[in-house]
Amino acid sequence: MNQVFDPINLVLLVVAIIVAWRLWSVLGTRTGHEKRIDIPLGGLSGERSTDSASAPAAEDGEVRYGLPEEEKPVWEGVAEENSLLARMLERMKEIAPEFDARHFLEGAKVAYEMIVTAFARGDTKTLKPLLAPDVYAEFEKAIEERRRQGLEQEFEFVGLDEAKLLRAALNGKVARLTVRFVSRVITVTRDADGNVISGSPDKLATVKDVWTFERDLTSRDPNWRLVSTEAPAQAEK
């Protein structure tokens, strides 16, 4: 029998046509309600891939990848919107996109405790990389004078109550940030015979300082250095 007119072949041909038509009806058309999956940019470069199990889902159930969280304004949490301080922080951010005022403030808190503790102990090795040369010279002079007089300072840093950003300034690419610190310490100075000259070993003292830190925003060195200290009342006029 001629295979072209074989009834079995005709049946198989009809089945194939029906299956093909159904597949096309499902895959070849879009209704406008399909779920969209965005390919993460990192997936194309090999830098980053995202597991679908941990991918964020929108309220409509749609899964999206590679969508970065909206970055907070550089001044948020440390300055008022549209204030002079906020605008200056924005200018710093333009020069150095990695600049983060909140991160700076956290680092300033650590630096403050390190500096006041090192000064009380006469630890010039710790002080030197944290201070500008002229400020270091003043600190070193005070430490040497204390030693010359045979005085000893006992010091305990109890806690920091406040670290508030007061001012920001730019000189070209060099940024300056001024911070007010309010801390609680136990400090006592004794003479060579052990007599108390100042302070008390049993009482908390509140210390207020206003310090200015400086850094070239284009430098590879990420560290800020203390460049000046001033009385709180004078700084806030």
- Give residue 171's domain range: 84-235
Angle subtended at Cα 181 by Cα 179 and Cα 184, rounded to the nearest 5 degrees: 170
In a domain, 73, yes or no: no
SS3 category, 83: coil
SS3 category, 226: strand
- Beta-sheet pairing, 174-190 with 225-230: unpaired
Nearest-10 crossing angle of helices 133-148, 101-121: 30
**Rounded Cα distance, 39 and 91, in Å:** 34
**Rounded Cα distance, 13 and 151, in Å:** 106
Pair 78, 105: CB distance under 8 Å:
yes
Which range is least confidently modeled, 19-23, 59-63, 178-182? 19-23
In a domain, 63, yes or no: no
**What pLDDT was estimated at residue 47?**
32
121 or 27, higher pLDDT: 121
In a domain, 229, yes or no: yes
Task: Examine the domain organization and report whether 12 and 118 are in the same domain.
Answer: no
Give pTM, 2 decimals: 0.69
Query: Average pLDDT of 108-114?
Result: 97
Q: Tell me the β-bridge partners of 189.
A: 153, 198
Query: Over 70: is that where the pLDDT of 10 sits?
Result: no
Which range is least confidently modeled, 14-23, 122-131, 146-155, 179-188? 14-23
**Rounded Cα distance, 138 and 176, in Å:** 20
Query: Over 90: is that where the pLDDT of 23 sits?
Result: no
Determine what percent of the chain is predicted with pLDDT higher than 90. 67
**Rounded Cα distance, 73 and 143, in Å:** 42
Query: Over 80: is that where the pLDDT of 114 sits?
Result: yes
In a domain, 8, yes or no: yes
Domain total in the chain: 2
Pair 85, 77: CB distance under 8 Å:
no
Task: Examine the domain organization and report whether 91 and 134 are in the same domain.
Answer: yes
> What DSSP line would sit under 157-202, residue for residue?
EEEEEEEEEEEEEEETTEEEEEEEEEEEEEEEEE-TTS-EEEE-TT
**What pLDDT was estimated at residue 232?**
76
